[in-house]
Amino acid sequence: MNILVINCGSSSLKFQLIDAETEKLIAKGLCERIGIEGSQLVYQPEGKDKITTVTPMEDHTTAVKLVLNSLTDSVNGVVKDLSEIAAVGHRIVHGGEKFAKSTLITDEVVKAITDCNELAPLHNPANLIGIAACKELMPNTPMAAVFDTAFHQTMPKEAYLYGIPYEYYEKYKVRRYGFHGTSHSYVSNRAAEVLGKKYEDLKIIVCHLGNGASVSAVKNGKCIDTSMGLTPLEGLIMGTRSGDIDPAIIEFIAHKEGKSIDDIMSILNKKSGVLGLSSNLSSDFRDLQDAYESGKEEGIRTIETFAYRVTKYIGAYTAAMNGVDAICFTAGLGENSAFVREMICSRLGYLGITLDKEQNSKRGEELVISTPDSTTKVLVIPTNEELAIARETKALLK
């Protein structure tokens, strides 16, 4: 059973075709600059070279059409025709309080996702365009919506409420939702499997450290807290997002620099994080690590402040769960930077953690990087959100 996984952004569309029985990747790719000059499709059948086609894509329907043509192409295609695609799984960023689980897409579901648009104005409308484009071209193929927020819907009120007038929650659903849920769910489940323990018996902290970054506390198989909030701006210091700040900073800077709230929000989302903290040196940790190692102050202060924030969240979530059995690192930075993992773990001796440096130096595989006598285990689990979406879609078809 082949499942097409679609992750649609405002001007991009990432896709993977996965055999949901064997869980093997069949082909993947990316449409970039949709609706903008210079659009291109990068398509890669598994085990073969990438094929890049520069071609106009006036909208997402054109992009989906090109993807489907590539998948069914007589030379480089991987399926005979569209009947070999059993279903499409769509990544949807915000499901609000309406969606605590993935769901098959119906007209009512589309309406309910549309109702969440104001909570994720940059992401949800693009996700909906992806659904509409696929429906137009594959009207009889079942489709599933898999939400970034769903895994976190088990958070208790004490974790999701803000200390602001309760009427804003009642009127506008202003609360913490959390994101990267598909990744937190996949990684915490895999951690239990790798440790050979029951998921329901464990207290797990997942550190999803990529360009966007978040931490979650998963107790007995349920998320009880996570660091992102109403939007993905809260929590850790990220590539370009500030993470937690004193909200009074917004007014302070607006007055000092003569800026509007929109200007400041754009700065907090696009010009802050490690990029801003490093005085625009880079938002990429590879550059920051080079700067750190060559003794540049910008690199040192940025990486140390980033790591300190992660350590603080691990401490908070250990307290929230009254203990922790396993800490997992995932996503671009979490999976690839032995350096940052070591910096974070060196501050966790109080949890009985000793890092196995040889294990920590390996890459690209699932690893336990704490020594066997460590009382809290530390793991690296490469995330696979597309596979998780394919699994959810397959389960819904049944």
Q: Residue numbers of the site for ligand AMP (CB under 6 A)? A: 210-211, 239, 284-286, 331-333, 336-337
Element of type H or E holding 394:
helix 385-397
Closest approach of ligand AMP to the CB of residue 213, in Å: 8
CB of 4 to ligand AMP, least distance (A): 21
Select 360 or 376, whichever has its Cβ closest to ligand AMP. Answer: 360
In Å, what is the CA distance from 283 to each residue of 84, 242, 269, 298?
41, 12, 12, 12
Q: Which residue has the tokens 């490093």?
A: 278
C-alpha span between 193 and 31 (Å, rounded): 35
Count of alpha carbons within 13 angstroms of residue 156, beta-carbon side: 7
Decide whether 336 or 360 has the Cβ nearer to ligand AMP.
Answer: 336
* Closest to ligand AMP by CB, 132 or 300: 300
The answer to whether 236 and 313 are in contact (CB under 8 A) is yes
Nearer to ligand AMP, 336 or 393 (CB): 336
d(CA 246, CA 180): 24
**Which residues, in sequence order, are bridge partners of residue 40?**
32, 54
Cα angle 147-152-154, degrees, rounded to a multiple of 5: 125
In whole angstroms, the minimum distance from the beta carbon of 315 to ligand AMP comes to: 23
Please spell the DSSP secondary structure of 149-204, one letter per residue. Answer: SGGGGG--HHHH--SS-HHHHHHH--S---S-HHHHHHHHHHHHHHHTS-GGG-EE
Is there a catalytic annotation at residue 148?
yes
Q: Could you tell me the sign of the dihedral formed by the alpha carbons of 137, 143, 148, 149, in that order?
A: positive
User: Minimum distance between the CB of residue 285 and ligand AMP, rounded to whole angstroms?
Assistant: 4
| Smallest gap from residue 69 Cβ to ligand AMP (A) | 27
**Catalytic option among 73, 107, 148, 263:** 148
Nearer to ligand AMP, 70 or 242 (CB): 242
- Active-site positions read 148
